[in-house]
Structure 1
Amino acid sequence: MPCSQALTQHIAFRLKGGGEGRADFGEDQQKDLKRRFAQLIGAKPNEIAFVQNTSDGENIVVMGMDLPKRGGNVVLDELHFETSLYMYKSLEAKGLQLRVVKHRDWAIDIKDMERAIDRNTRLVSMALVSNVNGYLHDAKAITDLAHARGAYVFADMVQAAGAVPIDVRAMGIDFGSASTYKWLMGERGFGFLYVREDLQDTVVPTTRYGHRQIANFDRVGITWEPLPGAARYETGTIPTALALCSHTSLQYIERLGLSNIRAHARQLTDRLLKELPAMGYASVTPKGNETPIVAFALKDVEATQKKLRDARVTATIIGNEKRIRLSVSVFNTQEDIDRLLSTLS
């Protein structure tokens, strides 16, 4: 994969220094990386900041909005990622009002969101694509509802970016973040934060400080010039090896084309959704859901784990919830599906 090739090249640079085919991931490339990710999600480059991971990005937004102290409520749903559920639940003890919308048949009903969001809602937070079962939110319906009642919307995009089309403008998303190690084909420890241009430093002021936010620093007078845009949310040195990895993978995604990626994944998930329920694995992914993630209920977790382990097939099993999650990507084939189905039979 492109990421592994990029890391190999970066290691050569670190070991041997600059030379033919060897260079650091410099400022121009970093700017191009932001441009490419912005293009992928329909944003502007100055709306993108580098962060450590998805949760880091959401924390920047939540702490910048100072939600516990400013009153009001936050609305999310139970198909959200566990970090978000944990964070907002923990902030309840500091005065935040939390409303968690329950799923109906493993989907979120917009009518339930409408009942939860009111004029006192400060923020609606959702996983654009749920890691629980691949459920794809109707983002536009939720943002329209939230904005009509004076609330902002944060989207966890880690299971969506690189897997499904995203247009933050058309969807009405105000803030979002994504790690690169999922569908962006990068590595752990690096990600992106999106903050809508007109909300920077107003709705979400800077709460952390570092040299990546400024230029022309005068040590004697201790003066500087602030950099424009979402750079205000960055702090210190970034992991250039991981940034290089992401830069290379984004170009790979661009060459493949997101529509081709979706078409390939759809063939595989359609087959899983047809054949696994017939084998006794009930689907917990809604019908017609357009993501490369599908999930199924398990009757015997330990037996399933043993089957997969013995066959050396990788899948995510959530034991305490008796659920298996399957995610297919561009490198998976019909033969992989054959092997999985044979293993689980």
Structure 2
Amino acid sequence: MKDMQLVREEFPILKDKIQLSSCSQSALHHNVKESINKYINTWEKDGMNWGLWMEVCENARMKFAKLINAKPSEIAIVSSVSHAISSIATSLNPEEGKKDFWVSKEDFPCIGHVALSQNNYKVKYIDYNKDDYSTVINDETFMVSVPHVSFYNGAISNLENVIHHTKKRDGYVFVDAYQSAGQVDIDVKKLDIDFLAAGMQKYLLGIPGIAFLYVKEEIADTLSPRITGWFGQENPFAFDGENVNYAQGARRFDTGTFPMINGFAADSALDIILGVGVKNIEKRLQELSQFTLNYCRDNSLNIASPLDPTLKGSNTAIKVEDANKIEAKLKERNILLSARADVIRIAPHFYNTEDDIKIAVDALKKLI
């Protein structure tokens, strides 16, 4: 990794603010800003440049595939994880006696919202920290959803065990990697994941409005998406609205025109993450995580996250009253943390330092 001072200069906000909110929105890299401006310039000067715009989005698809060790043909471009899980949930056809859709209590709420909105599943809830999923997951299990890293307290799920027990029962596994992509190494082939989704705005250094859906190639062509659009067709530019002819692989889960400006941001942001290397980022964030845990304990803060940095991601959650008010007061002090329910989340990225964390924790302690 480059000298830290040089790294920090690439994120202009760090001159004036301490941004430790990557579990919600990471800091803006100057290359990402330049890419967004590049899109705007082509729009302003050319009116439109569909060839370039499409090329950039396709490049982002390929780079995300590389990030998780997938093929580009196994990646769909979607708008969000909500979009991704909706596309999958509506495309699958559970049979009588095998309809259980297990939602993790650690899942982001959109997973439960989508599961409950369907009429063909029996939605059940599992706590991977307490329940013995080796016995809970049974022959009636159709789908198991698991967050790779918890949005609430940063806990890392034991994907290997969840996938192992689900596959023993011939069930599907959906992994929400929104909180892990960019900070924890992911290999969908090694793990044998069926479906995985992640958006760009957190540890992937991008912006909301674009996400990627991985569908294992052995599964993709067996599904007929019920959420679709012209980009999900084999030949979108045939402009044939009288027939459905799905594209091959996961591309059949593409829907309408890509969010082009978001694609420009994603293309550049993925270059940065791949350039630094997720394994290097993961190592650095474990060091910062250990420092955060130690410093919070030294200051007698109530930690809601696992106390072993190998069992959590970047996010260290601190129990507080009026978390949103605390977040707002910290922002007035140019310290950007992120509140969720009854916790304040301290979530560094590779551009943060121990001094950032110390200043933030000191301010947090004074407020609570």
Tell me the TM-score normalized by structure 2: 0.82
Q: 2:77 touches 2:211 (CA, 8 Å); kept in 1?
A: yes
Corresponding residue for residue 227 of structure 2: 208
Q: 1:13 touches 1:24 (CA, 8 Å); kept in 2?
A: no
Please report how far the alpha carbon of residue 317 of structure 1 lies from its aligned counterpart in structure 2 after TM superposition. Answer: 1.8
Q: What is the alpha-carbon distance in structure 2 between the residues aligned to residue 56 and residue 183 of structure 1? A: 19
Q: 1:69 touches 1:95 (CA, 8 Å); kept in 2?
A: no
Corresponding residue for residue 76 of structure 1: 103
For residues 120 and 77 of structure 1, do their structure 2 counterparts lie closer, same or farther at Cα, with a shift above 3 Å needed?
same
Corresponding residue for residue 98 of structure 1: 123
1:153 aligns with 2:173: yes
Q: 2:327 touches 2:338 (CA, 8 Å); kept in 1?
A: no
* Secondary structure, aligned partner of 1:343: helix
Aligned partner (choices 39, 48, 51) of residue 10 of structure 1: 39
1:57 aligns with 2:57: no
* Secondary structure, aligned partner of 2:235: strand
For residues 18 and 219 of structure 1, do their structure 2 counterparts lie closer, same or farther at Cα, with a shift above 3 Å needed?
closer
For residues 227 and 89 of structure 1, do their structure 2 counterparts lie closer, same or farther at Cα, with a shift above 3 Å needed?
closer
Please report how far the alpha carbon of residue 60 of structure 1 lies from its aligned counterpart in structure 2 after TM superposition. Answer: 0.4
- 1:154-193 correspondence to structure 2 within 5 Å: 154-193=174-213
Corresponding residue for residue 258 of structure 1: 278
| Aligned amino acid, residue 278 of structure 1 | D
Corresponding residue for residue 30 of structure 1: 57
Corresponding residue for residue 164 of structure 2: 144
Please report how far the alpha carbon of residue 234 of structure 1 lies from its aligned counterpart in structure 2 after TM superposition. Answer: 1.3
Q: What is the alpha-carbon distance in structure 2 between the residues aligned to residue 101 and residue 218 of structure 1? A: 46
Q: 2:295 touches 2:358 (CA, 8 Å); kept in 1?
A: no
| Aligned amino acid, residue 173 of structure 2 | V
| Aligned amino acid, residue 49 of structure 1 | A
* Secondary structure, aligned partner of 1:25: helix
Consecutive unaligned residues in structure 2, runs of 5 or more = 1-28
For residues 26 and 149 of structure 1, do their structure 2 counterparts lie closer, same or farther at Cα, with a shift above 3 Å needed?
same
Work out the percentage of aligned pairs sharing the same amino acid. Answer: 25
Q: 1:75 touches 1:116 (CA, 8 Å); kept in 2?
A: no
Deviation per CA, 1:151-191: give whole Å up to 9, x if none: 01000111111111000111121001111111111111111
Q: What is the alpha-carbon distance in structure 1 between the residues aligned to residue 143 and residue 64 of structure 2? A: 24
Please report how far the alpha carbon of residue 315 of structure 1 lies from its aligned counterpart in structure 2 after TM superposition. Answer: 1.3
* Secondary structure, aligned partner of 1:325: strand
Q: What is the alpha-carbon distance in structure 2 between the residues aligned to residue 256 and residue 67 of structure 1? A: 42
| Structure of higher RCO (CA pairs closer than 8 Å, 6+ residues apart) | 2
Please report how far the alpha carbon of residue 115 of structure 1 lies from its aligned counterpart in structure 2 after TM superposition. Answer: 2.4
Deviation per CA, 1:6-60: give whole Å up to 9, x if none: 11121111111289xx986344433332221111111111100100111100110
Please report how far the alpha carbon of residue 210 of structure 1 lies from its aligned counterpart in structure 2 after TM superposition. Answer: 2.3
Please report how far the alpha carbon of residue 68 of structure 1 lies from its aligned counterpart in structure 2 after TM superposition. Answer: 9.3
- 1:95-134 correspondence to structure 2 within 5 Å: 96-102=121-127, 108-109=129-130, 112-134=132-154
Deviation per CA, 1:260-281: give whole Å up to 9, x if none: 2123222222111111123232
Q: 1:53 touches 1:178 (CA, 8 Å); kept in 2?
A: yes
Consecutive unaligned residues in structure 1, runs of 5 or more = none
Q: What is the alpha-carbon distance in structure 2 between the residues aligned to residue 304 and residue 221 of structure 1? A: 52
Deviation per CA, 1:266-308: give whole Å up to 9, x if none: 2222111111123232222112324111112125647744652
1:330 aligns with 2:350: yes
For residues 216 and 165 of structure 1, do their structure 2 counterparts lie closer, same or farther at Cα, with a shift above 3 Å needed?
closer
For residues 328 and 68 of structure 1, do their structure 2 counterparts lie closer, same or farther at Cα, with a shift above 3 Å needed?
farther
* Secondary structure, aligned partner of 1:118: coil
Q: What is the alpha-carbon distance in structure 2 between the residues aligned to residue 125 and residue 85 of structure 1? A: 9
Q: What is the alpha-carbon distance in structure 1 between the residues aligned to residue 325 and residue 228 of structure 2? A: 50
Q: 1:127 touches 1:155 (CA, 8 Å); kept in 2?
A: yes
Q: 1:46 touches 1:229 (CA, 8 Å); kept in 2?
A: yes
For residues 69 and 55 of structure 1, do their structure 2 counterparts lie closer, same or farther at Cα, with a shift above 3 Å needed?
farther
Q: 1:101 touches 1:112 (CA, 8 Å); kept in 2?
A: no
* Secondary structure, aligned partner of 2:311: coil
Deviation per CA, 1:232-262: give whole Å up to 9, x if none: 1112211111111101111111111112212
Q: 1:136 touches 1:290 (CA, 8 Å); kept in 2?
A: yes
Q: What is the alpha-carbon distance in structure 2 between the residues aligned to residue 176 and residue 7 of structure 1? A: 26
Q: What is the alpha-carbon distance in structure 1 between the residues aligned to residue 195 and residue 331 of structure 2? A: 39
Q: What is the alpha-carbon distance in structure 2 between the residues aligned to residue 331 and residue 219 of structure 1? A: 46
* Secondary structure, aligned partner of 2:224: coil
Please report how far the alpha carbon of residue 66 of structure 1 lies from its aligned counterpart in structure 2 after TM superposition. Answer: 4.0
For residues 15 and 56 of structure 1, do their structure 2 counterparts lie closer, same or farther at Cα, with a shift above 3 Å needed?
same
Please report how far the alpha carbon of residue 85 of structure 1 lies from its aligned counterpart in structure 2 after TM superposition. Answer: 2.3
| Aligned amino acid, residue 205 of structure 2 | M
Corresponding residue for residue 316 of structure 1: 338
Tell me the TM-score normalized by structure 1: 0.88
* Secondary structure, aligned partner of 2:52: coil
Q: What is the alpha-carbon distance in structure 1 between the residues aligned to residue 207 and residue 161 of structure 2? A: 32
Single out whichever of 187-196 and 262-271 deviates more from structure 2.
Answer: 262-271
Say how many residue pairs are matched. 333
Please report how far the alpha carbon of residue 226 of structure 1 lies from its aligned counterpart in structure 2 after TM superposition. Answer: 4.6
